[in-house]
Structure 1
Amino acid sequence: MKSPITGKEMQVRNEVTSLAFRKEEFEVVTHYYECEDSGERFSDDRLDELSIVQVHNQYREKYGIPFPEEIRRIREGYGISASKMSEILGLGANSYRLYESGEVPSVAIGRLIMSIRNPATFVQQVTASVHFLTDKEIKKLTLAAENRNMEFVAEKVFPSRLNGYRQPDFAKIAGMITFFQVLWKITLFKTKLNKLLFYADFNAYRLTGYSITGLEYRAIQFGPVPAQFQKMYVDLSQRGQISIEEQYFGNGAYGDEIKACTSFDKALFSDTELKVLEFVAQQYGKLATDDIVNLSHEETGWYENSEQKSLINYRYAFELNQGISYNS
């Protein structure tokens, strides 16, 4: 963005500040453009939205309010339209659709939506709606709940600042592996792949306030890694989404090479997420494993958590040494 005063390109700065939402204050990292000559600050819709997302995410996390993706998944689990779900829950005609689109529900409504993850509770809501549902609709929804009762287990992982406010998404993880290995021809051993995933997730959060995969990252000796990466790769292999091939390097050294077993599905990712993946592939894809490990050791998120091998708060995304530009 160019300064309206001097016409020169401005740099993006950030600072920690407090923003109010529903009569509460939340600490966020706000971003702004600064004109070096005049010292004036400017913003745009993208930077303003990033601040708002941070506030909303903290509010949802604090009060246990479901996130948009979870709200959508709950509805889709019962095979019902957003407008019909609004009716059944006694909400406004378009309310459920708005919540799926990002509007933050009240604490009471958020907890109501969370409660119907339990199929028995959903059936109770359907039963209470017999005055406007047809017998056919009641039978269909009750059957959907009965079928869902076998698989609709409450999520163990909730969106938080440690997973980028998303739940783990194996389809996206597999898609990212395909992107790096097949589209960009990057040889992927676990140590290097762990860093590529970290940089992709944290750069996505840097731009949007959300990770791509919903993974948590831990600061260990060889840099940031998905918290349960060994289990993750085994699960992906058992799903048939990747293969794990042991390679011998000589001198008694072995390593696991990860190869994709699925084609790349562009539809899984937003335009911003695709730009982030391209940035990470260009920035880090051709680096040797030792080089990318050394770079990760320079990240604030790693060295402030490495001694205790702690999980890394995604807020460190705003401190990446070579983070993606906000103009991307």
Structure 2
Amino acid sequence: MNRMNYCESCRAEHTYTIKKEPQVFRFRGQDIELPERRIAICNNCGSRIDVEELENETMANVARIYAENYGMTSLEIQNVRKQYKLGVRPFAKLLNIGPASVTRYESGSLPQASHLELYKRLQQHPHVILEFFNRNKGSLSSRELKMVETALDAWTNAEDSFQTDDQIIESIFKPYKVTDLAGYSDFSLEKFINMILYFTTNGVLKTKLMKLLWYSDFLYFKRQTVSITGTTYVKYPYGPVPKNHDLILAHLQHMNVIEVDEHTNDEGWTMMMVKASEPFDSTIFTEDELETMREIETHFRNYGSRKISEYAHNEIGWLETEEKQPISYKYAEELREFH
């Protein structure tokens, strides 16, 4: 069956052919790349035809990619509420958002920016729910208040035995220790923290910091067949990053190891400046490890976040690894040397 739609150029209905082409969309301050956007081409004049079904499909894909890269999945959003064992309505009242919005977000709809920040904050710092409770408990009915108090008391008691910040960070990398995904090393939180302190002494943008860490570990592995920190890195759109990097930064902030200053530049991009809050301890590194870190710092000194990301995109390890998957240190053999 031939598909037909109105063509503005022809001013008449014609059959059309669906073609695929890459396109970049500006969405919520971010450039979202669709590798294959389906578009309709008029079979009569060759002009593009607007087909509602295809436009809806495109925007759904843009929203999905944005959520995967910059937001939260519907499952992560569900888990934020479910960790407290709260119903939709009382949870919504604590966050001061509509219950219908909570239901939509948990079903896959993309949260508005201000609501997404609330969810991210609760995901990274679950105890903040107590602040919301104290601020908004007046909106709860007497029945809801009793239910929420009971649920949060049970959650707080269970959290009394919660892991410390350093234990949480170490648990992220524990499954990969002494494998090719950790550079055949045990993860060293002390070295990981101090490598971050080394590169953030005078402040550095988060995107660039992630690449400096990766290059340090991978270049050292290329030369010594072992990584410096034992960190596992995964492929993200803007280059390699430590696994669960945002969660790690949140815990390092809580430990007062670093400060993170977030602001928006003139182009609408969110910039996160990471700065050390503690002095760097060089004594825990070997001279070879320190020399590798110095070499990386010197080579990329004049690189901005975008330039170093583009540089990393040409590394075999990034190119041949699937999105959001760990990058094997075996690819370090193909890493470009710095001169």
TM-score w.r.t. length of structure 1: 0.48
Query: Which has a greater percent of helix?
Result: 2
